[in-house]
Amino acid sequence: MTIKEIAKLAQVSSAAVSRYMNGGYVSEEKKERIRAVIEETGYRPSVQARTLRTKRACLVGVIVPKINSESISRITEGIGQVLSERAYQMLLTITDNDPSKELEYMDLFESYPVDGIILVGTVLSGAHKEKLKKCRVPIVVIGQQTNEVSCIYHDDYGAAKELAEQIGKEMSGRIAYIGVTRADKAAGAAREDGFRDGLRAVGRELEEGCLRRASFTMESGYEQACDLLRLESDIDIISCATDTIAAGVIEAIAQLSPQRSIQVTGFGDNQFLKAVTGGIRTVHFGYQTSGVKGARLLLDMVESGKTLTTEIKLGYELL
């Protein structure tokens, strides 16, 4: 099938189909008709032909910390959706939460080469910032705020603050917090600081003996909760930096304090945890939206040849 045939079925011009394929402007009405025809026919544009025409590889390198994470899978799904619509392919690499591997993969993608890079960021060290500034291809960071390149991130501080204010007002018992490394400015520092400030706003404080830090795993959440409950047996609320950590905390409570009603909160709106527990108080972020917006931002830079730095902060919903 050709572009002319797609245009005929969608009742638009060939130029409109071409603009759609290349990320140019097409009215919403025409865009929907073209998309519907492409889905119905299973049309896939020739990457080789497009590469010769545009002098681009039609490849985007995507760097993620892990793949067995619902939040990361949502982000990746959003990225993939946009890349597919605009006839690009994804090269996906996984760092296993090792920030040094992020630097290695950025070097690898630069030399591959790809048309652009999306980094789902964790720890942005000084070396990261230097690399971002010197990167030879357009790059977008998702999940962390940075001044070096365009970025899409969430209001981690605001969400944690509002969550803590609610908890502090509604419950009079002792409150604990299990966070992650503060080197992660979003999930670590911003969420912990927001939580502390939210408690202070309602006249409460997070006691230092009630603070723990885990890695981004259920096992680590379980270990830290066990330590916490053995030393601070009268805890009434355990708030966690991620839903994955919260799952481990729930397991620890079931083993060590099954007779007590300890409330657990998290971040991420994990659907599996919701299905198993019936739902805990958590924060919903538009992870798929961040992937969509990040991919669109990157491809707009790739195709326009302009690298205007853009910063987008997304909101949240308390559940």
Q: pLDDT tens for the chain, 319 residues: list them.
A: 788 888 899 999 989 888 887 767 889 899 899 989 888 888 766 654 555 455 677 999 999 999 889 999 999 999 999 999 898 999 999 999 899 999 999 999 988 889 999 999 889 999 999 999 999 999 999 999 999 999 999 999 999 999 999 999 999 899 999 999 999 999 999 999 999 999 999 999 999 999 999 999 999 999 999 999 999 889 999 999 999 999 999 999 999 999 999 999 999 999 999 998 899 999 999 999 999 999 999 999 999 988 889 999 999 999 9
The CATH topology of domain 56-154+287-318 is: Rossmann fold (3.40.50)
pLDDT at 52: 47
* Architecture of the domain delimited by 156-284: 3-Layer(aba) Sandwich (3.40)
Q: Which two tokens stand for residue 118?
A: 């999306």
pLDDT at 51: 53
C-alpha 37/C-alpha 45 separation (Å) is: 13
Which of 162, 164, 158, 163 is closest to 145 using CA atoms?
Answer: 158
The answer to whether 118 touches 79, Cβ cutoff 8 Å, is yes
Strands 283-285 vs 263-265: parallel, antiparallel or unpaired: unpaired
pLDDT at 267: 97
pLDDT at 19: 84
Which of 152, 140, 163, 166 is closest to 299 using CA atoms?
Answer: 140
Which of 171, 172, 170, 268 is closest to 218 using CA atoms?
Answer: 268
Which stretch of DSSP H or E encloses residue 250?
helix 243-256
C-alpha 188/C-alpha 179 separation (Å) is: 6
Q: Which two tokens stand for residue 119?
A: 């980094």
Q: Which two tokens stand for residue 22?
A: 């290349």
Q: How many CB atoms sit inside 10 A of residue 12's CB?
A: 21
For the chain, which residues make up each domain, given as ranges?
A: 3-45, 56-154+287-318, 156-284
Phi, psi of 295 (to 5 degrees): -65, -45
Q: Give every strand in the sheet of 263-265, ordered side by side.
A: 211-213, 174-179, 235-240, 263-265
Q: Which two tokens stand for residue 313?
A: 């902060």
pTM score: 0.82
56-154+287-318 and 156-284 share one fold: yes
pLDDT at 298: 97
Instruction: Give the Å distances, CA to CA, from 127 to 102, 131, 231.
Output: 10, 6, 39
The answer to whether 154 touches 314, Cβ cutoff 8 Å, is yes
Q: Which two tokens stand for residue 222?
A: 């379980």
C-alpha 96/C-alpha 114 separation (Å) is: 22
Q: Which two tokens stand for residue 162?
A: 């509002």
